[in-house]
């Protein structure tokens, strides 16, 4: 997930990170499914990478 981000806002948005529900919901789901989450700022964008484990054989495949 990528979102444009003005690094000047970094200090003014700290309270939003604590008060917002969006990131809390994402964190809760990643934890529930035993995944990993990585947050970082790169090239003027706030980015989140999420990895969720799957069991082999649980993803339906399309027959050709």
Judge whether 61 lies within some domain.
no
Asked, for residue 58, whether it belongs to a domain, the answer is no
pLDDT at position 7:
72
Q: Is residue 25 part of a domain?
A: yes
Give the per-residue pLDDT at 28: 92
Return the pLDDT at 12. Answer: 67
Domain that holds residue 10: 2-51
Answer for the pair 48, 5: CB distance below 8 angstroms, yes or no.
no
Q: Which residues contact 23 (CB under 8 A, 6 or more apart)?
A: 17
pLDDT digits (tens, 9 = 90+) for 3-41: 887 777 666 665 555 556 788 888 999 999 899 999 888
Q: Number of folded domains in the chain? A: 1
In a domain, 33, yes or no: yes
Q: Does any domain span residue 8?
A: yes
**Position 57 in a domain:** no
**Is 35 part of a structural domain of the chain?**
yes
- Please indicate, yes or no, if residue 31 is contained in any of the structural domains: yes
> Is the model's pTM score more than 0.75?
no
In the prediction, which pLDDT does 55 show? 78
Strands (E), the chain: 2-4, 36-42, 45-51
């Amino acid at each position: 997930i990528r979102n444009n981000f003005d690094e000047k806002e970094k200090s003014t948005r700290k309270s939003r990170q604590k008060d917002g529900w969006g990131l809390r919901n994402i964190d809760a789901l990643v934890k529930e499914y035993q995944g990993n989450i990585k947050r970082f700022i790169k090239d003027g964008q706030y980015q989140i990478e999420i990895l969720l484990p799957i069991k082999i054989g649980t993803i339906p495949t399309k027959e050709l």
